[in-house]
Amino acid sequence: MPVRGIAQVNRNLEQILVKDISERKARQAITKALIIGQQYAVELTPVDTANLINSRFTQIINTQTGFTGRVGYTASYAKFVHDGGPKNWQKPGAEDEFLKKGFERDGIDEIDAIIREEMRID
């Protein structure tokens, strides 16, 4: 008696494997992009105490359309400093919008390269 459905099983298995690989690659690409952006943001973060830097967090969320990465600060005053607080910072090179600039200005080329590299299909 011939076995039926082998072709369908193979197609389903292939889809599962491709989905698993693409999800792993996407998560890895986002993780590396968050690390790079954070490194640049830390260089620009105003530091009078270590509270702001030490309140930093990263999060990767699995959504219906893919993954979303977030970097933020839990310190209650972080938004005010980021958006343009007083300019009496002790750290040379500190800037307003340090998080935005770390990702969108200083780290953008490296982040783009990491995403291209990680999502490449060999």
- The answer, yes or no, to whether residue 112 has pLDDT greater than 90, is yes
Instruction: State residue 107's pLDDT score.
Output: 95
C-beta neighbour count of 118 within 10 angstroms = 17
Per-residue pLDDT, averaged over 74-97, amounts to: 82
pLDDT on residue 82: 85
Question: Across the chain, which distance is largest between two alpha carbons, in Å?
Answer: 83
Percent of the chain with pLDDT over 70: 90
- Tens of pLDDT along 28-61? 999 999 999 999 999 988 876 688 888 999 999 9
Residue 1, CA atoms < 13 Å, CB-side half-sphere: 2
Which residues, in sequence order, are bridge partners of residue 105?
none
Write the secondary structure of 29-74 as one string of H (helix), E (strand) and C (coil): HHHHHHHHHHHHHHHHCCCCCCHHHHCEEEEEEEECCEEEEEEEEC
Q: Which residue has the higher pLDDT, 47 or 79?
A: 79
- Considering the chain, what is the average pLDDT of its residues? 85
Q: Taking the complete model, does pTM exceed 0.85, yes or no?
A: no
